[in-house]
Amino acid sequence: MRKAHIISIIILLLIGIIAGLYYYAARPYSSSEIRISTNPWVGFTPFIYAQEKGWLEGTPFRFMWLVDLTDNARLYERGFTQGFTATQYEWLQFADKSHIKPVFLIDHSDGADAILSNRTLEELRSSSVPVKVYLERGSMNEDFFDAFVKEHRLEAVPFRPIDASQKNIAVMKMERDPVVIISYAPYVSELAKRGYKTVASTRTMKSFYVVDALFVHEGIIAGREKEFSHLKKLFVLGVERLHKDPKEYYETIRGYLEGQSYEEFMASTEQIEWLYDEVPEEVILHLQKQQVKTDRLLR
């Protein structure tokens, strides 16, 4: 009887702990807290640096670190977050996006998004067997792949898209059958180590222009512009630390980089164009063509 009683107490405690964790994850946010979901994309690492340095303490901003790009939408639409870092293509996936606006632009991808394969472009073009395409559905991966097919005239190739998370994609072993993989830094580094080669990227493609930004519900921005301006200053300070002491910067954030080496990380920083300072007019035009409203951008 005593043993059964102890077991019952342990079970009740476990249930209590699980319920507490669920409540913490699902609880409504306080009016003073601003939750932002993001991922370890190279352009977002200044937020990691700011968090690890304790700069976000005393601010209303709380970052949730994810991997799958589509998690941004799920968390936002369920009210768990009030903002997210993403490309304009993830923004386009929202059914009701009129109230979601970029607060400040972060970067323009200039090679850090890549399409890899175990075949050359010519081998893909002449393939008569199905070519598996691993990508994240509901994200810019799909738009990137569609642009790739059109730009390289691969419409006749029997592609077979397969939904997969970047976590699973990054650990893929080299396959014998033809494969195409849509990925981005830091995960590209792992795929390259396994023998996959880049056949196209946001640097080589002319028809696909990617901008990363911090998107937030317009109602959250109103009246809190100074707080978002402060967050941007912390972001800029992070980039400045990257330029001043890249080794220290890397050591501070390396736990988020999925095994990426210092050399690989530094190479990825050369594959984006920072946009936090001055935003070229062509970037604004690209966003406006896609109906992204820029009236809330901090200047």
Number of domain units in the chain: 2
Lowest-pLDDT choice from 11-15, 230-234, 295-299: 11-15
Q: Is residue 23 part of a domain?
A: no
pTM of the model: 0.83
Domain check: are 136 and 175 in the same one? yes
Mean pLDDT score, 211-240: 95
Find all residues with CB under 8 Å of 241, minimum gap 6, and list them.
49, 248, 249
What gap in Å lies between CA 66 and CA 94, rounded to an integer? Answer: 18
Residue 116 near residue 143 (C-beta atoms within 8 A):
no
Identify the residue whose tokens are 């980039």.
Answer: 239
pLDDT of 2 > 70? The answer is no
Confidence (pLDDT) at 16: 52
CA dist list (Å): 217 to 30, 244, 296: 15, 34, 11
Note whether 87 and 216 are same-domain residues.
Answer: yes
Domain co-membership, 78 together with 142: no
Q: Which pLDDT band holds residue 15 (cuts at 50, 70, 90)?
A: low
Q: Of 201, 230, 264, which marks where a domain is finished?
A: 201
The total of other beta-carbon atoms located within 10 Å of residue 29's CB is 15
Q: Is the pLDDT reported for residue 21 higher than 70?
A: no
Residues facing residue 61 across a β-bridge: 34
Domain check: are 145 and 178 in the same one? yes
From 182, 201, 220, the end of a domain falls on 201
Last residue of a domain, one of 135, 169, 201: 201
Q: Are residues 45 and 59 in the same domain?
A: yes
CATH number, domain containing residue 192: 3.40.190.100
| Shared-domain flag, residues 80 and 123 | no
Q: Which domain holds residue 265?
A: 33-107+209-289
> Could you read off the pLDDT of 48-63 as tens digits, one per residue?
999 999 999 999 999 9
Question: What is the pLDDT at residue 32?
Answer: 82
Short-list 237, 231, 189, CA closest to 214: 231
Q: What percent of the chain has pLDDT over 70?
A: 89
* H helix or E strand, kind and range, residue 242: helix 225-244
Q: What is the pLDDT of residue 9?
A: 52
13 belongs to a structural domain: no
Q: Is pLDDT above 80 for 299?
A: no
| DSSP designation for 212 | E
- Who has greater pLDDT, 225 or 74? 225
Does 79 lie in the same domain as 227?
A: yes
**Looking at residue 78, what is its pLDDT?**
87
pLDDT of 11 = 55
Task: Give buried/exposed letters for 30-67 (b at 16+ CB in 10 A, else e).
Answer: eeeebbbbbbbbbbbbbbbbbbbeebbeeebbebbebe
Most confident residue range from 19-28, 163-172, 231-240, 254-263: 231-240
Q: What is the CATH number of the domain that holds 268?
A: 3.40.190.10
Clarify whether residues 189 and 257 are in a common domain. no
Residues 221 and 85 placed together within one structural domain of the fold: yes
| Range list of β-strands (E), 151-274 | 159-163, 179-184, 197-201, 211-217, 272-274
Cis peptide before 186 (omega within 30 of 0): yes
- Does 296 fall in a domain? no
